[in-house]
Amino acid sequence: MTTTETLSVREMGLRARRAARVLRSLPTDRKAAALHAVARELRAREAGILAANARDVAAAQAAGLPAPMVARLRLDAPALAAIARDVEAVAALPDPVGETTPERTLPSGIRVSQRRVPLGVLGVIYESRPNVTVDVAALALMSGNAVILRGGKETVSSNAALEEAIRAGLASEGVPAEAVQVIRDPARERMLELLRLDDLVDAIIPRGGAGLHRYCVENATVPVIVGGIGVVHIYLDESFTRDPADVERAARLVHNAKVQKPSACNALDTLLIHRGALPALPALARDLMAAGVTLRADPPALATLRSAGLDAEPASEADYGTEFLSLTASIRTVPGLDEALDFIAAHGNHTDVILTRDPAQAERFVADVDSAAVMVNASPRFNDGGQLGLGAEVAISTQKLHARGPMGLRELTTTKWVVVGDGQVRA
């Protein structure tokens, strides 16, 4: 089995393209068997993988990387075991490849249908988390795609060890190891080569901060699927605060949206509150502040909080439209649904929530908000492939082409027309 360590990015692309031709028609049971083999290799190579990860962690700490980034980078035995289980879970997901629409016979006599097929070769660029290497490899393989992975410079040793385990698992089942390749050279020039490999790579999927997405969009000649960036809003309608039990539900939901995982792209950024619901705001704010959340509020909300003895900060206009990715949230008071919809139209596109007991308000919100996910009386943290029944995800797309929302197996495929005739010619 050839190592990818010394290959050029172009050579990796050529090998990925050859592997993709094999994967395109690989039966579901063969793909599942390969993934189970990958899980076995991850377990068998635990010591080597954790040693490689320890080198990355030590280098990151020596370089002064922030503690949260070091935490995202770190692997231990339970985490690696969970990654192996996730691979097996992907193997059990329904395979979308080969699904065919009902055949129609047209007046010309030709029979036409559409068949679901893999995209081909994916380029995935990401930061920090070594588990992404395995997650994406598993999803790519199960959907019949080859993938070239480019992780951050802080994960070079971890990704190399994980790549070796993945490729060994594939090879043991007779699946081309070149289906999964990791660019080990962290130089930005290698990433740029991948972004411009449009004759061999079918789609680029970046996972990371706004700067990474912007760099990919501005420099790629390969189509880029942008996602994971966006401001998350919850609009609290007055109707959801008339019952004390609803106020308690709202407090629990807002707390979950902000505190459970503040660094996630689907965590709350801005609470929009109907001015008639302001009396309920202190109940929501106390739970947030107890968890260490800094609140930045507009004048009506700030006055309400301070009169309740809660020391929030004044909000600036820059606090609206900001994806905080931390224990900070902004609050904006609105006269009603129209103003909430206008605000979200100006700042949103990722995940937006309404808390309301008015079905008409809920339906209008769902119809008018143009975001990847729109939710009624539920936490925005549910905008996730696993939570929405996809099993797993490569990313959350916030664009409208080719996919929108969490990208699972089906979103890593496209369709082709199949036409069957008996010698027909076009008149």
- At 386 the pLDDT is 86
- At 390 the pLDDT is 86
Residue 283 CA to residue 308 CA, distance in Å, equals 10
Whether the per-residue pLDDT at 228 is higher than 70: the answer is no
Nearest to 409 by CA among 116, 191, 46, 39: 116
- At 221 the pLDDT is 97
Q: Band of the pLDDT at 38, cuts 50, 70, 90?
A: very high
H helices then E strands: how many in the chain? Answer: 14, 16
Tell me which CATH homologous superfamily contains domain 9-228.
Aldehyde Dehydrogenase; Chain A, domain 1 (3.40.605.10)
- At 92 the pLDDT is 96
CB 404 within 8 A of CB 371: no
pLDDT digits (tens, 9 = 90+) for 243-257: 999 999 999 999 999
Q: Band of the pLDDT at 337, cuts 50, 70, 90?
A: very high
Residue 303 CA to residue 46 CA, distance in Å, equals 55
Whether the per-residue pLDDT at 200 is higher than 80: the answer is yes
Whether the per-residue pLDDT at 231 is higher than 70: the answer is yes
Whether the per-residue pLDDT at 143 is higher than 70: the answer is yes
Tell me which CATH homologous superfamily contains domain 231-382.
Aldehyde Dehydrogenase; Chain A, domain 2 (3.40.309.10)
Taking residues 331-349, report their average pLDDT. 96
SS (H, E, C) 320-368: CCCCCCCCEEEEEEECCHHHHHHHHHHHEEEEEEEECCCHHHHHHHHHH
| Start-end of CATH 3.40.605.10 domains in the chain | 9-228
261: left (phi over 0), alpha (psi -120 to 50) or beta: beta
Nearest to 264 by CA among 240, 230, 292: 230
Q: Band of the pLDDT at 2, cuts 50, 70, 90?
A: low
Whether the per-residue pLDDT at 229 is higher than 80: the answer is no
Local structure of residue 392 (DSSP, 8 states):
-
Q: For the packed helices 131-142 and 28-44, what is the interaxial angle rounded to 10 degrees?
A: 160
Local structure of residue 238 (DSSP, 8 states):
G
Q: Band of the pLDDT at 69, cuts 50, 70, 90?
A: confident
Nearest to 196 by CA among 401, 34, 13: 13
Q: Band of the pLDDT at 401, cuts 50, 70, 90?
A: confident
CB 199 within 8 A of CB 15: no
pLDDT digits (tens, 9 = 90+) for 347-385: 989 999 999 999 999 999 999 999 999 999 999 999 998
Q: Band of the pLDDT at 4, cuts 50, 70, 90?
A: confident
Q: Band of the pLDDT at 1, cuts 50, 70, 90?
A: low
pTM listed for this prediction: 0.89
- At 400 the pLDDT is 87
Whether the per-residue pLDDT at 230 is higher than 90: the answer is no
**Percent of the chain scored above 70 by pLDDT?**
99
pLDDT digits (tens, 9 = 90+) for 72-97: 899 999 999 999 999 999 999 999 99
* Mean per-residue pLDDT of the chain: 95
Taking residues 209-214, report their average pLDDT. 87
Q: Band of the pLDDT at 391, cuts 50, 70, 90?
A: confident
Taking residues 26-49, report their average pLDDT. 98
